[in-house]
Amino acid sequence: MSGSVILSKAKDLSARQGLTGERIMDNKTFIDNLIDTRAQWDALIAQIDEQWMLEPDVEGKWSVKDIIAHIL
């Protein structure tokens, strides 16, 4: 499959409607949302005191840092 055919299929996919009628998100919107969400996450994490971040037994034996590492 040539590069132009792949690009054409990708454009068709981005223009299609989703199963519930919403438009499928284009790549730029997706990347912008990832960047915005990561910035919100970083701002939230920055509010956590370092001592509390390392405190054991926040959830069982896990610290906040352990939980964050597990999620990411």
* 32-44 pLDDT per residue, tens: 999 999 999 889 8
62 versus 2: the higher-pLDDT residue is 62
pLDDT confidence bin for 68, thresholds 50/70/90: confident
Q: Terminus-to-terminus CA distance in the chain, angstroms?
A: 36
Residue-wise pLDDT for 9-53, tens only, equals 555 555 555 556 666 778 888 899 999 999 998 898 899 888 888
Q: What is the pTM of this model?
A: 0.54
Residue labelled with tokens 């597990």: 70
Specify burial of residue 28 (Cβ count, 10 A radius: 0-12, 13-18, 19+).
exposed
